[in-house]
Amino acid sequence: MVGIGYDMHRLEIGEKLILGGIEIESEIGTVAHSDGDVLLHSIIDAILGAAGMGDIGEHFPDTDIRYKGYSSVEMTKKIMNLLVNKGLKLVNIDAVVVLEKPKLLPYKNMIKIKIAEICNLPKERVNIKATTNEGLSYIGRGEGIVVHSICQIENVRN
Ligand code: MG
């Protein structure tokens, strides 16, 4: 089975930018109820989609005080536990981060290793792509960040 995920967060000066559990050096970061890890949020939705388990908002409502500033790494681990309990396992993850700046190239490998660790996948089964929006729209103006992702899962007993 496959699933897609999408997430967008506003960017503001003075906020932290955390992607895939890795803090990125940046003047601007995500505005969020949780830690604003837009990459993990998108991946969580892809996993939930593939497993037919709804979306991130159903599992971690942003109206719930327990999830204020909550670690997205912990959220992902919880979702991975649900997956394992259903007899499912991840095959691979692919994601596209659309961000004008900073450049993610120096961080991509670290992000891959971290996501592979969180999701119990070999590193080569996690692919992270980064692109800019060529200066266009709210992403181009540095007002927001978007992540699209996709994953495949399979039954453990296949
Ligand atoms: Mg989000």
Q: What is the tens place of the pLDDT at every residue in 7-26?
A: 999 999 999 999 999 999 99
Rounded distance, CA 45 to CA 26, Å? 25
Rounded to the nearest angstrom, the distance between the alpha carbon of 158 and the centre of ligand 1 is 33
Rounded to the nearest angstrom, the distance between the alpha carbon of 121 and the centre of ligand 1 is 23
Q: What is the tens place of the pLDDT at every residue in 20-50?
A: 999 999 999 999 988 999 999 999 999 999 9
pTM, two decimals, is 0.96
CATH number of 2-155: 3.30.1330.50
Rounded to the nearest angstrom, the distance between the alpha carbon of 5 and the centre of ligand 1 is 11
Strand 144-155 and strand 2-13: pairing? Answer: antiparallel
Helix pair 72-85, 105-118: axis angle to 10 deg: 40
Rounded to the nearest angstrom, the distance between the alpha carbon of 8 and the centre of ligand 1 is 6
Q: Domain map of the chain by residue range?
A: 2-155
Token pair of 68 as six digits: 């204020």
